[in-house]
A and B are shown apart, each in its own frame.
Chain A
Amino acid sequence: MIRFANASVTYPGGVAALKDLTLEIPDGQMVVVVGLSGAGKSTLIRAVNGLVPPTSGDVVIDGVSVRKASPHQLRVLRSRIGMIFQTFNLVNRTTVLNNVLMGRLHNTGTFRSLIGWYKPADVEIAMRALERVDIVEKAYVRASNLSGGQQQRVGIARALAQNPKILLADEPVASLDPPTSHVVMRDLQRINRELGITTIVNLHFLDLAKVYGERIIGLRGGELVYDGTGAQADENVFRDIYGRSLTADDLMGEESTAAAADVAL
C-alpha cells in the first residue's frame, strides 16, 4: 500500500509542487492522476520512489518511509517500483536488451554489472519482459532504431524486468500519436490486471483518463481536488480540476477513445 501522509514537496527555488497531500492507494489499483502542467503530477509520482523526496510529511510504501530511508533502503525500495517516462529515457546507443537489463541492476553485483556479466536468469527475466510487450524480436537492435511506440514498450519492459510491485508512469503517452497511445495504455492496463501491479499513471488527456482510470486523482496547484472513480468524473469535475472550461485540446479524440473503450470492455 502507498500512503501519502500530509506530504508536501517544496523545491529549492521555493516552488511548492505538492501541498499537504494525504492519500491511500491500495495494492493492485490502477490510478490515473490528472491536472494541468505544473499541477504536481510528476512530483507526486517521483515522491513515491524518492526521486523527489517529500520535504515535509511522508510517503510510506508498505510500511517503509521514503523520507527516512537510507540510500541503501531507498535503492531496495526503488528496485520494487518500476518507472516509465514521457520521453522513454532509453539509452539510445545500446541495445534494447541492455536497456531492459537495467531493470535487473538491483539484482546484479557492482562488479558483474560493470563488465556486463548478467546472470542467465536475469537475462531470461528481461527477455520475458520483452515478450510481454511483444517486442522481443528487437532485443539486439539499438534502441535508437525503434519508433516512439516501440521505445515506450521497451521502457515498459525495463520497468517490468524489475518484477515490480508498483508501476509509475509519468505521461507515458504524451510523446505518442493517438493509436499508439492506446496500445501503450492497454499494455499498462493488462499488466495491472494480469500481474496485479499497483499502477499510477499521469495523463493530461481527460478522455484517456476516464477510459483507463479505475480511480482518478485530480491535482490543481499541488493540491488534491478530486479523488473518485472514472465513471463519476464528469465534465464538472474536470472543470474543477482544470480551473476552466474544457476545450478540444484536453481530449485526445472521440473516435479513437470510443474504439479503445470497446476493446477495453
Chain B
Amino acid sequence: MSVAAHQTTPRPAKPRPSPVLPIALVAVVAVTWAATSEQFGIGLDIGSIISDITRGAGILGELLRPKWDFLPQTVEPMLETFRMAVLASAIGCTIALPVAFLASRVTAPNFATYLADRSILNLVRAIPDFLYALFFVAAVGIGPLAGIAALILFNIGVVAKLQSETVDGIDPGPLEAARAAGGNRLQTVRWAALPQVLPNYVAYSLYTFELNIRASTVLGIVGAGGIGRLLLREYKFFNWSNVSVIVVELFVFVFVIELVSITLRRRLV
C-alpha cells in the first residue's frame, strides 16, 4: 500500500502529560484534610455527626409537621419581606447595570475607570449583607428601611459582578460596527452590547430577587424587618412546627421565582 511509502514530515513525539491536574487534585485533598484536622483546622469529628444524629430527630420530627394554623400570623411579615425584596431588587439591579458595563474591559472607557470600578465592587462584595444590615440599623433605626438599604448594596455586588463577566464574553463585532458608524460610547453600549446581555441581566435580577427573599430572613434577625423577626421568635421558643411553616412558604416563593425566571429567559433568548 502506498500509505506506508508516502514520504511525510516525521510525526511529533506525544507531549508529556501536564502535571497541573494531578498536582491540583492533590492540593485540593491536602487543603481539605488540613482544614478539617485537629492540628491546623477546625477539628472536625465526623464520628460525632453520626453518633449524635438522633438528637436532631425530635426537631426534624416537628419540622416535618408544620402547624398550618400559624400561617395567618406569617402573612404580614412575609409581605413585608416581599416588598423589601422587590424594592431592593429594583433599585439595586438598576444601579448594577451601568456599574457592570464600567467593570468590563470590553465596555469601560479606559483602564483607570475599569480598575476603580472593579476595586469598589470587590469591596462591596467583601462586606457581608449581615454587616450592612447591622450598620443601617444603627444608622436609620430598626425596620425595613435598614433592610432595603443593606439588600441594595448586596444586590449591586452580585449583579454587577455576574453581569460584567457576561459583558466580557460578548461578540465584539457589533461594537466595532457601532463605532465605525460614528456612534459614541453610550450609544455603542446601548445598541451593540446591551441587546447581547439582556437575557442574562433579567436572569441575574430574578436570581437576586430570590436571594433577597432568603437574605431578608437573616436581616430580620438583626432588626432590619421582614419575616426574619418572626423566624427568630419562633426559633427562640423552640416552635419548630411554626418555623417549618415559614420554611415551606419560602420554598414556595423561591420555586415560583424560578418558574418565572425560566419562562422569561426562554422568551428573551
Contacts and interface: CB of A to CB of B under 8 A. Distances in A.
Do most interface residues of chain B lie in helix, strand or loop, or is the interface mixed?
Answer: helix
Given A79-B181, A83-B180, A93 B196 contact: yes
B49 to A, nearest CB: 49
B187 interface: yes
B180 A105 contact: no
B142 interface: no
Given A85-B177, A91-B191, A102-B177, A114 B186 contact: yes
Given A51-B176, A85-B177, A94 B183 contact: no
Given A110-B186, A114-B186, A89 B181 contact: no
B198 interface: yes
Contacts of A22: none
B181 A85 contact: no
B83 interface: no
Interface in A33-71: 49, 51
Interface size band for A: 35 or more
B195 A162 contact: no
B181 A82 contact: yes
A94 B171 CA distance: 14
A185 to B, nearest CB: 20
A58 to B, nearest CB: 19
Interface centre among B173, B187, B190, B198 (most CB of A within 10 A): B187
A29 interface: no
Interface in A8-50: 49
A106 B182 contact: yes
B254 interface: no
B187 A105 contact: yes
B192 interface: yes
A91 B191 CA distance: 8
A193 interface: no
Nearest to B197: A93
Given A91-B192, A94-B195, A102-B191, A78 B177 contact: no
A106 B196 contact: no
A143 to B, nearest CB: 10
Interface of A: 49, 51, 75-83, 85, 87-94, 98, 101-103, 105-106, 108, 110, 113-114, 155, 158-159, 162, 168
Interface of B: 171, 173-174, 176-184, 186-187, 190-192, 195-196, 198-199, 269
The 6 A-B residue pairs with the shortest CB-CB distance in the complex, in nearest-first order: A79-B182, A106-B182, A89-B173, A105-B183, A83-B180, A89-B177
